[in-house]
Amino acid sequence: MTKLPLYLISAALLAGTVGLAFSASQNDVLPASASNPRDFNTFYAPAYRLPDPATMSSSAASGKELIHSTYKYLGVESGIRAANGRPFVGNKLACTNCHMADGTQPNASPFVVVAQKYAPPGIFNARSNILLDVPNRVNTCMERSLAGEALPRDSQPMKDIVAYFDFLATGLQPGFTFKQVKGQEFPAVALLTRAANPERGKDIYRERCAICHQNSGQGIWLDDQKRYLTPAVWGNDSFGLMSGMGRLATAATMVWGTMPRDKVNILDPSTRMPQQDAWDVAAYLLSNNHPFGERYIQDWTGVGPDGMPNWLRKPASASYDFTMPRSNNGAATDDPSKPPMFTREQHTFGPFQPIEAALKSARNARGFP
């Protein structure tokens, strides 16, 4: 405990070790050297400005609270269950554990213009073979990142989350489109030309991550608040293998853009670790176990609106159905009688270029880009 960064020690003490109430949000205790909410508007200017919290409706305020402490309100201990009897949050994470500062931090997949981006009819998603509007997009993270269940569209928690996104969307400045807002999603990283190395990643983890996420990977849980001070990065309480974070190429972008939490300054990209370190440490996280549901073997089935079979859009680092694509004498196919084209190992750690190339030539052979 004494080796924790100062802001975490004070937060942990306030949060319960000495029995005091803890009300400040985590960002209030971040050191000035790291991402600072006061810098967000500097980053987003001129296209976007965070709206005045005083203009937030009570529904939007509830949505923000749900983003901040998702497990507390929708996890197993809440008593609330989906129609199939499972809790809506299957692990112990909250949305803000990845979408930092309650979805306002640039380069941490912020929610600032999600309402505009996923406006009806929504964006086609080949993985689930559906159009993603805002509620559907929320639910893909409920089911996959939180290893849980979809919230009914007309449920109060879903309405509150949508209201919070609508509130954030009012910050788009006149004369700009949502596409002009910088810092959306996680920042892109270049593919490695070698396989990522979880052994090297383990050394980086011990040196740069374990102080907060612990050698066990289980983070620091604040039982009185039913949320993490520092979240689990593997094990049953961490993100699902069937989520974006379960794919190395996405996990590497998230880690590179945001971690270590107290070192990355959003206004100064030179504070980020080398990209190959992000790949290797993310590979170490994925070399440990993560929740997985068999129903996700159905992913990337069906045919998209442009007539292209969805398996041809499968990201190379989706590892749980490593049997797709199959190999027909070296050409990618979905014929289940053929052997898998690549090993699970290669879908997990790369190199990914050969997988991408095989899918691209199979698309081209069918007249798609």
314 binds ligand HEC (CB under 6 A): no
Q: State which amino acid sits at residue 187.
A: P
Q: Determine, following the binding rule CB under 6 A, whether residue 319 of this chain makes contact with ligand HEC.
A: no
Binder of ligand HEC out of 12, 82, 161, 358 (CB under 6 A): 161
| Residue 208 in the binding site for ligand HEC (CB under 6 A) | yes
The DSSP result for 294-314, as a single string, is GGGGGTT-SB-TTS-BGGGG-
Binding map of ligand HEC across residues 33-62, x = CB under 6 A, - = no contact: ------------------------------
The span from the CA of 12 to the CA of 356, in Å, is 45
For the chain, how big is the Rg over CA atoms in Å? Answer: 21
Where do we find the tokens 């990618």?
332
Smaller CB separation from ligand HEC, 170 or 328: 170
Q: Applying CB under 6 A, does 276 fall inside the site for ligand HEC?
A: no
Instruction: Please answer whether residues 175 and 163 qualify as being in contact, where contact means their C-beta atoms are separated by less than 8 angstroms.
Output: no
58-68 and 156-169 are packed helices; what angle lies between their axes, rounded to 10 degrees?
100
Instruction: For residue 275, state whether it binds ligand HEC (rule: CB under 6 A).
Output: no
Q: Position of tokens 């009012």?
A: 170
Q: Does 262 bind ligand HEC (CB under 6 A)?
A: yes
Element containing residue 130 per DSSP (H, E):
strand 130-132
Asked if the bond preceding 121 is cis, omega within 30° of 0, the reply is yes
Of 48, 239, 342, 349, the one binding ligand HEC by CB under 6 A:
239
Q: Which of 167, 315, 165 is nearest to 245 (CA)?
A: 315
Q: Does 5 bind ligand HEC (CB under 6 A)?
A: yes
Residue 185 interacting with ligand HEC (CB under 6 A): yes
Among 106, 183, 231, 257, binds ligand HEC (CB under 6 A): 231
Among 209, 283, 316, 332, binds ligand HEC (CB under 6 A): 209
Phi, psi of 172 (to 5 degrees): -65, 125
DSSP string, 178-226: GGG-TT-SSPP-PPPSS---HHHHHHHHHHHTHHHH-TTS--EEETTTT
Q: Which residue's Cβ lies closest to ligand HEC?
A: 244
**233 near ligand HEC, judged by CB under 6 A:** yes
Total site size for ligand HEC, rule CB under 6 A: 44
Q: Is 220 in the site for ligand HEC (CB under 6 A)?
A: no
**Residue 7 CA neighbour count, 13 Å, CB half:** 17
Between residues 262 and 334, which has the closer beta carbon with respect to ligand HEC?
262
Q: Report residue 314 as tokens.
A: 């499968």
The two tokens of residue 105 are 């931090």
**Least distance from ligand HEC to the Cβ atom of residue 320, Å:** 14
CA distance 285 to 127: 23
Distance CA 126, CA 301 (A): 8
The footprint of ligand HEC on residues 125-144 (CB under 6 A) is 137-138, 141-142
> Which of 11, 100, 241, 332 is in the footprint of ligand HEC by CB under 6 A?
100
| Closest approach of ligand HEC to the CB of residue 239, in Å | 4
Binding residues for ligand HEC restricted to 347-366, rule: CB under 6 A: none
The reply on whether position 341 binds ligand HEC by CB under 6 A is no
Which stretches of the chain bind ligand HEC, using CB under 6 A? Answer: 5, 26, 70, 93, 95-100, 109, 111, 114, 117, 137-138, 141-142, 145-146, 161, 184-185, 208-209, 211-213, 230-233, 238-239, 244-245, 250, 254-255, 259-262, 281
